[in-house]
Chains A and B, each alone.
Chain A
């Protein structure tokens, strides 16, 4: 018997405490996930409507063009990467960061050709450590972000495309599939090339003109795409953390089980040894 009874007892106790914490975190994440899904649902009507209008306006007539709809030669690419501020979420952050890192290695040779827009502290630190240029960043977003929380960075990001700092923009984040599955997704944000809508297109009158409406509509649309990605990523974050914490709790339970087993064995061995000693002592006296 390696460890003494007292050592094993102490390990059982600490593991129990840890499992209580992970259990609590699991439940907190579950309720946060619930609210995140609710947020994503209340965002859907806005997204659907704006998508429908953008498709109608931009595709309605072919003579309307706007810089945000047109592909241009790419000199510099922007990558918007959504990670969490804290860890303890399993592979949530590392999955996204690995994908982004590989993509960058494949597509670019010099740091002149790209820059990162980092949402979340984990991502920011990752890119800083690797000397990858970070153009913009935001950390400390609440668990249930409102549009106002990211309006500024969304606005700046879209402006960086508009003023020619970037010639294309991609978003990388974890897409929420279900509570147990989140997929790393790469989505082209700008230029807006993928505008097809299943809904019937409406022909509108424009007040004042189509160009001026696109001027207002497209940046607002791009910003809402960023917000949509953030809501999606937040739901994934809570789901990933919930799963990670559930695994931790399960592992702790398993560990407690094996530890209790060896505790009982050690106790039994100690008793047996004591009896042997007593019997031996009694025999010696005879």
Chain B
């Protein structure tokens, strides 16, 4: 099986680096699957999970937005925050989720509301990835 090199990079350092058979991610225009030999492409990502298929196993990485850069032999995901499923701090994500929910309930101006909504989506995404809820 042909493989493609994948790296997930954040400002705090690389998060994931491996050769995989397929990368799928949730781009803003919809689900996106990348196989080895793909033409060069750039696509912005949604807050969601990146699935990396390697043999029979599928690994999950939670990303908070960012974008995906594809070249024939490698895929780079640049996100402001990303964690592998096993590295997610579930307690912290739960706390963040509750905090965001409380903020959403308290009526605030638009910007704060939008920010809380994004925080909530990131927290839910982390919890889903940690529980392999995909």
Contact = CB atoms under 8 A, between A and B. Distances in A.
A147 interface: yes
Contacts of B41: 204-207
Q: Per DSSP, are chain A's interface residues mostly helix, strand or loop, or mixed?
A: helix
Contacts of B44: 212-213, 215-217
A147 B11 contact: yes
B95 interface: no
Nearest to A230: B11
B67 A43 contact: no
Nearest to B76: A49
A280 to B, nearest CB: 79
Contacts of B13: 42-43, 45-46
A50 interface: yes
A227 B69 CA distance: 21
Contacts of A3: none
Interface of B: 7, 9-14, 27-29, 32, 39-44, 65-67, 69, 71, 76, 78, 80-81
Interface in A180-220: 202-208, 212-213, 215-217, 220
Nearest to A57: B42
Interface residues of A, number: 31
B12 A147 contact: yes
Interface string A39-67: 10011011101100100110000000000
A4 B2 CA distance: 86
Nearest to A46: B9
A146 interface: yes
Nearest to A47: B11
Given A46-B78, A207-B27, A207-B43, A216 B65 contact: yes
Interface in A103-152: 146-148, 151
B47 to A, nearest CB: 12
B115 to A, nearest CB: 8
Contact of B9 (A49, A202, A204, A227): A49
A45 B9 contact: yes
Centre residue among B13, B65, B71 by max chain A CB count within 10 A: B13
A203 B40 contact: yes
Contacts of B40: 202-205
Contact of B42 (A42, A53, A151): A53
A232 to B, nearest CB: 13
B22 to A, nearest CB: 17
Given A46-B10, A49-B9, A147 B42 contact: no
A84 interface: no
A224 interface: yes
A146 B27 contact: no
